[in-house]
Amino acid sequence: MASVDVPVALLGYGTVGSAVNRLLTESADDIERATGHRLRVVRALVRDVGKERPFRAEPGVLTTDFASIRDDPSIALVAEVMGGVDPTGGYVLELLQAGKPVVSANKQLVARRGAELFEAASSRGVQLRFEASVCAAIPVVKILRESLVVSNVHRVLGIVNGTTNFILTRMETGASYAEALAEAQRLGYAEADPTDDVSGADAAAKMAILATVAFGSRVTLEDVDASSNSSSGSSARRRWSTAASTCASGRRSSIATIRSPRSRGRSTA
């Protein structure tokens, strides 16, 4: 059986975008054998075409013209790997309105503009896939949307931020918050600017997405209380546990509490 050619465009071609292209290129044969589809990166939106990148794109792939992606009927799929909410959200919205399916791992974008984007996708009959926006190595979104679709999920509980999980583990062994954070940055677990992780913004976005999928009702960032905690010891770890409940709010990892649209009560996880 002949394979299906799938021309792919990327929004962004930095560290993540170039890694996606490398994986698709190096694993093309394996992907084709498993799926019957041959994925090829044919366009990538960048700010500077001449910038050096970890994995060099083929000639003609890099472009600064967004319209060349949006208006190209041959492009079958777009992967958003540029991050941020603006101008990314506008680009994704235009792509969906143009009838192009989009894949994104951008948790802040999905959490903040998900309702608008999913409405646009639905109206054009295309998909916005976002599995990697939460616990990328674990198909938790797929399980909640498909395998548990007829189940009544009452609660989501888990560690959703690896950076704070590492920091809290080190704090349990006696390290201070500053020491644990510095070690996480040295080892590459924490960003140079760890604000989203340690403030709870990352966990809040992930939990808003998970709660929306699990409970079947829109949970926004406004429904999530997020706070940081730099105290030490096991009590801090307990305070940084993560949970969401349909019938009551619960404490969530890396710092957050969900107020479910179905109830505004409060419980301790």
Residues designated as active site: 206
CA distances from 171 to 130, 149, 177, 225, 258 (A): 32, 38, 6, 23, 25
Q: How far apart are CA 32 and CA 30, in angstroms?
A: 5
Q: How far apart are CA 244 and CA 252, in angstroms?
A: 7
Strand 102-104 and strand 128-129: the pairing is: parallel
Q: Which two tokens stand for residue 206?
A: 């992930």
DSSP 208: H
Q: How far apart are CA 232 and CA 176, in angstroms?
A: 6
Residue in 230, 228, 233, 241 with CA at minimum distance from that of residue 269: 241
- Give 23-60 as a DSSP string: HHHHTHHHHHHHHSEEEEEEEEE-S-TTS--SSPPPTT
Q: Which residues pair with 4 in a beta bridge?
A: 37
Q: How far apart are CA 32 and CA 2, in angstroms?
A: 10
